[in-house]
Amino acid sequence: MADTIKEKISGDSKDLEPPVKKQCRVEDSADLTDLASFQTQRILSCESRNKTLVALGSLGATDDRCLLILEKKPFEAETFDKLCTASTTLKKVFRNDVYGNYECTLASDVNAVKATVIYPASDKHIQKFETQTIHIVEETPALYTSVIQPFLEKEQLNLQWVYNILDHKSEVDRIVSEDTDPSLGFVLLPDLKWDGKDLKSLYLLAIVRLTNIKSLRDLTSDHLPLLKNLYNKCTSVIKERYDLPSSRIRAFLHYQPTFYHLHIHFTYLQYDAPGIHTERAHLLTSVINNIELLSNYYQVATLPFTLKESDKLFSVLKEKGIV
Ligand code: M7G
C-alpha cells in the first residue's frame, strides 16, 4: 500500500500506467499505514451518538471483504493545552451578541481517530456491525437446548484471537495482569474497543484460561472459585494501576456474547460503554450471587437476549413461531 504511493510519487514510467492495487493478505492488513487500498462497497452504520462509522469494503485487488470501523476519540482535559495553538483554526459560522459559533479544525497530531480493521471479515462480522431492527428473545432452558445451542455450535465465530492472547502469540505487550492457574486463571488486557489511554473510556477484558465454558449459560457453583478469583484480582489490579476502586468499575458478562469463550468486561462505571444495556449485560457480582443462591441458576433461568432480523437464527426462530 505504502509502496503503491511511493511508486506514484517517484514519477517513473509507472505513473503513466493505471494504478495497480496491491494484493493484500491478512498479515498485510496488520501493517496498514494508510487507507489508499480500501475500496468502499457500502456504509454499514453511521452513528452520531457514539461518533462511529463502519464501512464495508475490500483491500487492494482481493475479493476478501474488509470492515473498517472509525471512531472519533474523546477529548482529554490533560492535553487540552495542545489544542490551543495557531494550528487550531476557527471558521466563523455566525456571531450573535455574546454567542459565537465556529467550525474548528484541529492539527493532525491532536485529531487522531481510532480505526479498527477486521480482515478478512465474515458474514457474522458484517451482520454484527450493520444497523438493524432488533428483537428480544426470551430464551427458556428448553429453547436453549433444543434450538439455540445446536445453532450456535454450527455458527459461532472463530476464537483464534482468544487463543492467541492466552498463548502469548498476540497482544502480549498489552497484558495488564494474568493468572496462570489452569482452572482459576485468566488474562486481563485492554479490550479492542479501548485505546488503553483515556481512563474515562476504560474498557478491559478478562479472558478465562478454561476453554470449556461457552457463556453465562454454562456457569454453575463449580465456577465460583474462578469467578471470585477473577473479580478480586482484576479489581485489585485496576485499583493499583488506574487508581479506580471496584465501586467505580462495572464488571459484567454479555448474554448472548459474540464469542463463546468465557470472558468478563470491565469498564469505567461513568462510561456509557457499548453493550451495557439491561437486555445484554449481567453484572458479575449478581452472577456470583445468583449461583450462590442456586447452583444451577443459569441452567434453569429464562435468559433474554437480543437478535437482529438479519441473523440466521432469527429466521430459524421465526419459522418456529418463536419471534
Ligand atoms: P462479547 O461479549 O463476546 O461480544 O465480547 P461484543 O463484541 O458484542 O461485546 C467480546 C469482547 O472482545 C468485545 O468487547 C470485543 O471488543 C473484544 N475483542 C474482540 N476481538 C476480536 C478482540 C481482540 O482481538 N483483542 C482484544 N483485546 N479484544 C477483542
User: Which pLDDT tens digit goes with each residue over 12-54?
Assistant: 333 333 334 444 455 555 578 899 999 999 999 998 888 999 9
Residues marked active site are found at 263
From the CB of 193, is ligand 1 less than 6 Å away? yes
Closest CA to 274 of 94, 78, 71: 71
Residue 171 has pLDDT above 60, yes or no: yes
Band of the pLDDT at 153, cuts 50, 70, 90? confident
More confident: 7 or 76: 76
From the CB of 257, is ligand 1 less than 6 Å away? yes
Judged by DSSP in three states, 84 sits in: coil
- Quickly list DSSP for 125-145: HHHHHS---EEEEEE-HHHII
Band of the pLDDT at 2, cuts 50, 70, 90? very low
**Model confidence pLDDT, tens digit, residues 222-244:** 999 999 999 999 999 999 999 99
Q: Determine which residue's CA is closest to atom 12 belonging to ligand 1.
A: 191
What is the ipTM for the molecules in this complex?
0.98
Task: Report CA(191)–ligand 1 centroid distance (Å).
Answer: 6
**pTM exceeds 0.80, yes or no:** no
From the CB of 171, is ligand 1 less than 6 Å away? yes
**Alpha-carbon distance 318 to 172, whole Å?**
43
pLDDT of residue 297: 98
